[in-house]
Amino acid sequence: MADAFDLLVIGAGSGGLAAAKRAARHGATVAIIEGDRVGGTCVIRGCVPKKLLVYGAEYRELLAEAGSFGWSVPGHHCDASRLLANVRHEVDRLNALHIGLLEKAGVTLINGWGRFEDAHTVVVGERRLQARHILIAVGGRPQRLPIPGGELGWVSDDLFLQDQLPASVLIVGAGYIACEFAGILAGLGVAVTQVYRGERLLRGFDGELVAVVHEGLEGQGVTLRPGLTPEAISVGPEGFTLLAGGERLTAEALLQATGRVPRLEGLGLEAAGVNHDGRRIPVDAHQTTNVAHIHAVGDVTDRVNLTPVAVDEGRALADALFAGGTRTVNHDLVASAVFTQPELATVGLSEEQAVERHGAEAIQVFRARFRSLRQALPASGPRCLLKLVVERASGKVLGVHMVSSHAAEIIQMAAIAVGMGATKADFDRTMALHPSIAEEFVTMV
């Protein structure tokens, strides 16, 4: 006899948790299945621990510049082991918090890995579960390189489990995970070499902003090696060796940061009749798969792989299923950030995207490049870049982009304006808040 629920959620990450709690609030009986720790990628091995490490790495620059502001901080040193332990302690706290919130919401937590037996039944160990609606919210996992020795070295998940950091590391990849960990590890005193096969970092982001991130990474001491295609990885007494582009690069540790893929293996999607292409589960605007009562949210759909998107998808789905909601998630206007040092943050179209969509003559770009007041006394550090991409005929702001300290905090507010269809004239009418970095957005001419 199978246990029966109104909603059965497979995966207790951001999207699954949001959907389960919202559905329970609407009066549905809900169970959520998780074979790992409750919280998912973001809480356990992603956004939260990574951002804590970013904060820790930033202290190197702050302490180095302290003398410019009259502070004497002799002999500063980071105990990386203590930092890593403190981060894990915070993750443990959040894991327990999320378990408590599920219990408070009346959601049944089932520990174990779920797989479809058929379209209506999910098996966890010896337990059989059925529900009116089933939600797949299993997220993604880091992928390894398909090369000899590709099973060697760390992926991003592994870094948070370390008790101490190596003296040197090779990072393979050019995406946001690779760039963020390059900045983190360099800030914590590790000698970092970042290897990537393309000619630029952060493909898909505005090229002008990426150039500033490139400059910032080099300023931190990261050795950037573009144009080298990884061919093989080996490990020996001297550490890890990466054969790339005919060169042999060696370091004490190696991190593969070459992207993430949806976690489809072991789900039994074929038994449920759920379509997938081996890399993602396609869904419609209402998060529904080809099977009417089976839904999917978050990274497993591989649309916009960001925590707030998964949360919004989960809540919108629960509202639709159990409260008559009709709202769908807008995936076209999503703010994002790369937590390098300095941060890159963006919302809307990049200059390249705007040119491709509207034509070069139809857009106008406004920019400001300067050293922030925060850096005036030390007279060091990367310069800020702020950028507005505007449709010339209407004056509508198509994109807001920046590289600077606190960029993510600023872009969050700019996203509201862009979402409301603000024009350059609206920005110009806004009184500047001086002295601040963000005031440049309303004073550009």
Q: What is the pLDDT of residues 31-57, one digit of tens each?
A: 999 999 999 999 999 999 999 999 999
DSSP state of 202: S
At 134-151, the pLDDT tens digits run 999 999 999 999 999 999
The answer to whether residues 206 and 351 touch, using CB atoms and an 8 Å cutoff, is yes
Nearest alpha-carbon partner for 369 in 211, 205, 182, 202: 211
Q: What is the pLDDT of residue 1?
A: 56
Q: What is the pLDDT of residue 382?
A: 81
Sign of CA dihedral 268, 273, 279, 282: negative
- In whole angstroms, what is the distance from residue 283 CA to residue 276 CA? 10
Nearest alpha-carbon partner for 189 in 221, 153, 162, 219: 221
User: Could you say which of 76, 89, 401, 434 is catalytic?
Assistant: 434
Q: What is the pLDDT of residue 9?
A: 98
Q: For the beta carbon of residue 416, count every other beta carbon within 10 angstroms.
A: 11
Categorize the per-residue pLDDT at 75 as very low, low, confident or very high, splitting at 50, 70 and 90.
confident
Question: Which residues touch 61 (CB under 8 Å, ≥6 apart)?
Answer: 187, 341, 381
- In whole angstroms, what is the distance from residue 120 CA to residue 2 CA? 10
Domain at 342-442: CATH code:
3.30.390.30
pLDDT higher than threshold 80 for residue 2: no
At 226-283, the pLDDT tens digits run 999 999 999 999 899 999 999 999 999 999 999 999 999 999 999 999 999 989 999 9
**Homologous superfamily, domain 154-258:** FAD/NAD(P)-binding domain (3.50.50.60)
Q: What percent of the chain has pLDDT over 90?
A: 96
Query: What's the average model confidence in pLDDT over 59-64?
Result: 93
Categorize the per-residue pLDDT at 7 as very low, low, confident or very high, splitting at 50, 70 and 90.
very high
CATH 3.50.50.60 spans which residues of the chain? 3-142+261-323, 154-258
pLDDT higher than threshold 80 for residue 200: yes
Please indicate whether residue 406 is annotated as part of the active site.
Answer: no
pTM (two decimals)? 0.95
**Token pair listed for 374:** 């925060």
At 205-214, the pLDDT tens digits run 999 999 999 9
Looking at every residue in the chain, the average pLDDT score rounds to: 96
**Residue of 295 and 77 predicted with greater confidence:** 295
- Whole-Å CA distances, 319 to 108, 237, 324, 374, 406: 19, 57, 6, 45, 34
> Phi/psi at 89 (nearest 5 deg)?
-65, -40
In CATH terms, 3-142+261-323 corresponds, of 3.50.50.60, 3.40.50.700, 3.60.130.10, 3.40.190.10, to: 3.50.50.60
